[in-house]
Amino acid sequence: MIWGKANTMTIASTLGWGVIVLCVLLMLFSGANRLASLTQDAATADLLDVRYIQHPWVSLFHIVPGVLFLTFAPLQFVARIRRRRISIHRGSGRILATFAAISAVLALVVNFLFPAFGGISTQSAVIFVSVLLLFSLSIAIRHILRKEVRQHREWMIRTFAAAMSVATQRVFTIILIPLTELSLEEVFGTALWLGIGLNLVVAEMWINHTRTTGQLADRA
């Protein structure tokens, strides 16, 4: 029974890390592509890129911190790094939390500054996930200031899940466009809502599973 739980945990962890790595690579590609688009002429850009080209500095300070957070935040969940390099974990955590907050705040600015690509569906999804990220991050910081490490970890998982929804959105757009034969703009908001929902469900499942596993280990 114990071996079965441990084996399931190992498989789930391996699959989870594989998905995270793929999502990070997807966001690196997407971020690089979006930054490259800032050098284009707005007159020749598509309906999505033109919004960023017309507001390059806001776009830059939204994209770069967000990509950096999504790229390096997963390392914060690696137990070996936390145990052996706790000072690095704390220092990088402060930097990454700042990146996450900047990107989320500017996502809200971008949401109201640019005409929403995908309409009200996209606009409402961006507001929801940005506020959720900032709320989760603030709760996580409050817990770590109180030395409540377990609660801090759980809220940072929720924070990361909210942030990673932009990567999951890309996956859903790839699926929805050929499946529905709709345009990118028509599926954009729906894909983001699906990404948010999936990430939050998976995050809560992982939190509950690891919380139960930890309690069983403590009893043993």
Tens digit of pLDDT for each residue in 67-103? 999 999 999 988 888 888 888 899 999 999 999 999 9
Run of H or E residues at 125: helix 120-145
Residue type, 209: H
Q: For the residues 146-172, what does the mean pLDDT come to? A: 95
Q: Which segment of 56-60, 88-92, 149-153, 197-201 scores lowest on mean pLDDT? A: 56-60
Q: What is the pLDDT of residue 3?
A: 52
The percentage of the chain sitting over the pLDDT mark of 70, rounded to a whole number, equals 91
CB contact at 8 A, 132 and 162:
yes
Q: Are 68 and 24 in contact (CB under 8 A)?
A: no
Q: Where are the domains of the chain?
A: 2-219
- The whole-chain average pLDDT of the chain stands at 86
Query: For residue 212, what pLDDT band results from cuts at 50, 70 and 90?
Result: low
DSSP string, 167-195: HHHHHHHHHHHHHH---HHHHHHHHHHHH
Q: Examine the pLDDT at 189 and tell me if it is beyond 90.
A: yes
Q: Is the pLDDT of residue 116 over 90?
A: no
pLDDT for 5 equals 59
Predicted local distance difference test score (pLDDT) of residue 51: 78
* pLDDT recorded at residue 58: 86
- pLDDT band at residue 214, thresholds of 50, 70 and 90? very low
Predicted pLDDT of residue 4 = 59
* Token digits of residue 185: 């703009």
Amino acid at 67: V
Q: Token pair 């590609």 is at which residue?
A: 29
